[in-house]
């Protein structure tokens, strides 16, 4: 299925460096459940990357990472402020509510899938009575579900507002690497330095097969988190195979090169689409997904040639997601087929 790579960044495989680390970990016997040198090394590398003495846990996927991290900060009578199209709301089948025994998600609107400080403030100050689920956490997605990125200033303002209001700040970083690549800042500059308490750091979409890291910058929030992971079926017994690929990803900044490649592929696609009459690029793109409105003959023509991409119901838009594995040749082949489907005028 040659055209699959634009459906999502999880259609790609392992990047070679992570694959190599996995192979290296496959020697001899080692202690289980995380008490092994690969896990220690991966944790050390994440601490170095963030320049912070964080508490780190490896889990199998992003839904578990988000749901368990949020549950760790909440009682069942609390609420979590999130954007109305956030992954935690729209794509996790109620896992945050389930693992927190009923903590309610309170949905906020916001342009380009971003929360703004004044909306967080309004949501908290609107009601403070005993009848309302008490706001406890705000969660932001970086990069967002619409391929935009929060700036350092935007996050600084959100972090300050949250902490003033007594909220913890959680970041869904399934595409954190793409955000760092887009902004060109140090990882600390968009996390603990601006008040992020917990980050779910994405590995899967960045070039490994399985795994996300839950990074607690405020270590006290991680109390008993290991038990939470175990109960949820998220403690790998052969943990070295979950953690070793992280070493391959983090060594020599492969994570960043992977993210830059994905972002650059989306930029190349954007430039190409803008030059094809009839195709309308939707919104601003900072990261590795491009949203565009394609006339039906072009969209159908691409699908007929085997390309896969998501439709956004209601908006008439389509999403083209690039990964670490998307090459210039892939993008150019898609563009050539789009031009062919557009007809002689293009």
Name the phi and psi angles at 164, rounded to 5.
Answer: -65, -35
Q: Please answer whether residues 214 and 65 qualify as being in contact, where contact means their C-beta atoms are separated by less than 8 angstroms.
A: yes
* Distance (Å) of CA 322 to CA 10, 52, 95: 9, 30, 27
Fill in the DSSP letter of residue 112. G
* Minimum distance from residue 85 beta carbon to ligand PLP (Å): 10
Of 87 and 260, nearer to ligand PLP (C-beta) is 87
Strand partners, 213: 58, 201
In this chain, which stretch among 55-63, 96-104, 111-119, 257-265 interacts with ligand PLP, using CB under 6 A?
Answer: 55-63
Q: Binding ligand PLP by CB under 6 A: which of 36, 172, 330, 337?
A: 172
In this chain, which stretch among 56-64, 154-162, 220-228, 318-326 interacts with ligand PLP, using CB under 6 A?
Answer: 56-64
Q: Binding ligand PLP by CB under 6 A: which of 41, 78, 83, 87?
A: 87
Fill in the DSSP letter of residue 212. E
Query: What SS3 class is residue 4?
Result: helix
Angle, to 10 degrees, between the axis of helix 240-250 and the axis of helix 37-50? 40
* Minimum distance from residue 66 beta carbon to ligand PLP (Å): 6
Interface with ligand PLP, residue 286, by CB under 6 A: no
Of 161 and 178, nearer to ligand PLP (C-beta) is 178
Interface with ligand PLP, residue 174, by CB under 6 A: yes
Residues, the chain, total?
Answer: 346
Calculated CA dihedral for residues 225, 226, 229, 233, nearest 10 degrees: -160
Interface with ligand PLP, residue 61, by CB under 6 A: yes
Q: Binding ligand PLP by CB under 6 A: which of 103, 161, 191, 204?
A: 204
Distance between CA atoms of residues 326 and 61, nearest Å: 22
Which residue has the CB atom at the shortest distance from ligand PLP?
A: 62
Interface with ligand PLP, residue 62, by CB under 6 A: yes
Q: Binding ligand PLP by CB under 6 A: which of 5, 79, 141, 323?
A: 141
Interface with ligand PLP, residue 177, by CB under 6 A: no
* Distance (Å) of CA 86 to CA 7, 62, 141, 155, 174: 19, 13, 7, 16, 12
Q: How many residues bind ligand PLP (CB under 6 A)?
A: 10
Residues 296-335 that bind ligand PLP (CB under 6 A): none
Distance between CA atoms of residues 298 and 219, nearest Å: 51
Q: Which residues bind ligand PLP (CB under 6 A)?
A: 61-63, 87, 141, 145, 172, 174, 204-205
């Amino acid at each position: 299925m040659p055209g699959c790579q634009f459906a999502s960044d999880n259609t790609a495989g392992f990047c070679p460096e992570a694959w190599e680390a996995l192979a290296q970990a496959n020697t001899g016997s080692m202690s289980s459940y995380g008490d092994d040198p690969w896990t220690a090394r991966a944790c050390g590398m994440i601490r170095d990357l963030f320049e912070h003495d964080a508490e780190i846990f490896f889990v199998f996927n992003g839904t578990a990472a988000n749901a368990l991290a949020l549950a760790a900060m909440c009682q069942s009578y609390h609420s979590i402020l999130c954007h109305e199209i956030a992954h935690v709301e729209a794509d996790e089948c109620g896992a945050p509510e389930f693992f927190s025994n009923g903590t309610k998600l309170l949905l906020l609107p916001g342009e380009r899938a971003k929360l703004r400080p004044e909306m967080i403030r309004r949501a908290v100050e609107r009601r403070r009575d005993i009848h309302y689920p008490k706001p406890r956490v705000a969660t932001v997605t970086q990069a967002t579900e619409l391929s935009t990125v929060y700036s350092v200033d935007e996050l600084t303002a959100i972090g300050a507002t949250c902490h003033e209001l007594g909220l913890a700040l959680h970041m869904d970083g399934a595409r954190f690497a793409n955000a760092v690549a887009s902004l060109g800042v140090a990882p600390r500059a968009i996390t603990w330095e601006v008040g992020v308490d917990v980050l779910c750091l994405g590995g899967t979409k960045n070039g490994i097969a399985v795994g996300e890291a839950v990074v607690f910058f405020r270590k006290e929030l991680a109390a008993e988190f290991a038990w939470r992971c175990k109960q949820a079926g998220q403690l790998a017994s052969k943990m070295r195979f979950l953690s070793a690929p992280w070493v391959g990803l983090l060594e020599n900044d492969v994570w960043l090169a992977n993210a830059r490649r994905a972002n650059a592929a989306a930029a190349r696609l954007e430039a190409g689409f803008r030059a094809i009459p009839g195709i309308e690029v939707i919104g601003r793109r900072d990261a590795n997904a491009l949203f565009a409105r394609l006339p039906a003959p072009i969209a159908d023509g691409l699908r007929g040639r085997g390309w896969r991409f998501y439709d956004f119901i209601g908006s008439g838009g389509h999403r083209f997601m690039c990964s670490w594995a998307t090459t210039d040749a892939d993008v150019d082949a898609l563009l050539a087929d789009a031009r062919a489907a557009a007809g002689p005028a293009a």
